[in-house]
Amino acid sequence: MPSERAGRRDRPGIVVTGTGVISPAGTGAARLWEAMAAGKTFFDTGGHDGPAPALPWPSASVDTTEITWPAGRDWANAGKYANQSARWAVAVARQALEQAGITGDTEDVRGGTVMAVGSSSDELSDVIPQLASRFRGDRRPLAKFLHDEVPDYSYIRGIPSQLGQFASMASGFRGSNVAAYGEAAAGGTGALALAVRLLESGELDRVLVVGVAPPLTTTAMAAFDQDEPLGTRATAGAGPFDADRSGTLLGQGAAAVLLERADTARGTARARLVGCEVLVAADVTASAGLVVDTVLADAGTTPTAWWAHGAGSARLDRVEARAVLSRAGGLPVTGSKGTIGNAFECSALIDTALVVESLGRTGLPPVGLLRRPDPGLGGLDPVMGETRPLGPTPAALVTAFNQGRHSTAAGALVITSTHGAPADDGKART
């Protein structure tokens, strides 16, 4: 789309005015950033006290006791239809809105919502494998079988757009409410890219982007592991970019990022989003190269830091490192998955919130569980041991990829600091 990118300098600037995070480290991007800086990790090593055998894949879990539901009659009624994903979506949405100083008490037709949706956000993910097995020996037509056997609540509580309705209820935004589908991180950049288009087109002035990755079912874990092996240990040396890494570690969580047009922003700009895209090509190597080229051209600035997807996959870490190093050079790099695992559809949104936090603190926290960087990854410069200071005018490249050998989607974005920047004129800078 050369003509579209050529006109980007004439489009309105886009700023981040609020973020919200639920992670195994707790609520808020600040707590997760501080946990990374302190070298903490949050993985259950897979022990099991019950009669069932332990799962072979360690995961990092969210403490749900910190997640609250809003008070009031309307919210009490809505809570009857809210599954866990909806409750997490509302919680992170409210965090982002509170940070931006937006109460959600009034209707805002210039605000909208984009949901980053994956199959694990849908309560039918537990039901579908059972139905598939039962239908093999059932004589009813498929439509009749599904009508009879699918639980009624799933139509109400598991439809992805319903999550957006809950987020819209929290924000008061009455503009577009859409969903971007995509598994394991690239969906998060897809949701951000869609939000950018809604803002740049003039349809909306602010967009709340929300993603939720609830606990995976055993069926989903097994499916991911069959496509590309998951990590089976969460100890030093198992982290992203380590020479001894053996697979992606599992996580869960939720995140919200509030984007606004700079010329109409109601919240204070915490960072600028100057490039964002998700692309699919014939293979992930081609996708990675294309998407990094695209966002660097759109941003018109040279990144000084890199927040990597850092899956911990021997294959994908290599693809990612080659794509970035050949285009942006040996940037200091960090990532969150050695601390909290892969939060799948909201992973890129969590990383975006962490980048905004890093820009505000002018430092990059270290990569979790990284002991010995893989020399086969070229000139990689991972942050290890302690936080790495950022320069006076930092710009961060964020990369994201879908999970599995057969997934080819790749996403990337560039975020710059607002510190020391001139007054905004409402235009994207290049």
Residue 109 has a CB neighbour count (10 Å cut-off) of 11
Residue 109, C-beta contacts closer than 8 angstroms, at least 6 positions apart: 174, 175
Mean pLDDT of 278-298: 94
Query: Residue 217 has what pLDDT?
Result: 84
Q: What DSSP character marks residue 24?
A: T
Of all residues in the chain, the percent with pLDDT exceeding 90 is 65
Q: Into how many domains does the chain fold?
A: 1
State yes or no: pLDDT of 72 exceeds 80. yes
289 CB-near residues (< 8 Å, 6+ apart): 323, 326, 327
The range of the structural domain enclosing residue 66 comes to 2-122+158-416
Structural contact between residues 204 and 112, judged by C-beta atoms closer than 8 angstroms:
yes
For residue 39, the model assigns a pLDDT of 96
3-class secondary structure per residue, the chain? CHHHHHCHHHCCCEEEEEEEEEECCEECHHHHHHHHHCCCCCEECCCCCCCCCCCCCCEECCCHHHCCCCCCHHHHHHHHHCCHHHHHHHHHHHHHHHHHCCCCCCCECCEEEEEEECHHHCHHHCCHHHHHHHHCCCCCCHHHHHHHHCCHHHHHHCCHHHHHHHHHHHHCECCCEEEEECCCCHHHHHHHHHHHHHHHCCCCCEEEEEEEECCCCHHHHHHHHHHCCECCCCCCCCCCCECCCCCECECCEEEEEEEEECCCCCCCCCEEEEEEEEEECCCHHHHHHHHHHHHHHHHCCCCCEEECCCCCCHHHHHHHHHHHHHHHCCCEEECCHHHHCECHHHHHHHHHHHHHHHHHHCEECCCCCCCCECHHHCCCEECCCCCEECCCCCEEEEEEECCCCCCCEEEEEEEECCCCCCCCCCCCCC
pLDDT at 403 over 60: yes
Are the C-beta atoms of 261 and 391 separated by less than 8 Å? no
How many CB atoms are closer than 10 A to CB 425?
Answer: 11
User: Which of 7-21, 27-41, 304-318, 355-369 shows the lowest mean pLDDT across its residues?
Assistant: 7-21
Helix (H, G, I), strand (E, B) or coil at 382: strand
Mean pLDDT of the chain: 87
Instruction: Give the pLDDT score at 315.
Output: 93
Q: Is residue 305 part of a domain?
A: yes
pLDDT band at 104 (very low <50, low <70, confident <90, very high): confident
Residue keyed to tokens 């990369």: 399
- Residues whose CB is less than 8 angstroms from the CB of residue 165 and which lie 6 or more positions away in sequence, other chains included: 177
> What is the distance between the alpha carbons of residues 230 and 337, in angstroms, rounded to a whole number?
13
Question: Looking at the domain assignment, is residue 142 inside a domain?
Answer: no
Does some domain include residue 426?
Answer: no
pLDDT at 401 over 60: yes
Rg of the chain taking only CA atoms, in angstroms: 21
Distance CA 75, CA 166 (A): 10
3-state secondary structure of 178: strand
Asked whether the beta carbons of 88 and 20 are under 8 A apart, the reply is no
> What confidence tens digit (pLDDT) does each residue in 156-213 have?
334 446 788 899 999 999 998 888 876 566 779 999 999 999 999 999 999 999 999 9
- Could you tell me if residue 258 is inside a domain? yes
The CATH number of the domain holding residue 236 is: 3.40.47.10
Contacts of 143 (CB under 8 A, 6+ apart): none
Q: Residue 135: inside a domain, yes or no?
A: no
Name the DSSP letter for residue 108: B
180 in Cβ contact with 117 (< 8 Å): yes
How is residue 165 written in tokens?
């309705």
Q: Report the distance separating Cα 96 and Cα 17, nearest Å.
A: 8
Q: What is the pLDDT of residues 327-373, one digit of tens each?
A: 998 899 999 999 999 998 899 999 999 999 999 999 999 999 999 99
Residue 152 lies in a domain: no
pTM of the model: 0.87
Please compute, for residue 31, the number of CA atoms within 13 A of its CA located in the half-sphere on the CB side. Answer: 12
Let me know if residue 269 belongs to a domain.
yes
Q: Is 367 part of a structural domain of the chain? A: yes
3-state percent breakdown (helix, strand, coil) of the chain, nearest 5: 40, 20, 40
Question: How do strand 363-364 and strand 388-389 relate by DSSP bridges?
Answer: antiparallel
Which helix (H) or strand (E) segment holds residue 136: the answer is: none
Residue 11 has pLDDT above 90, yes or no: no
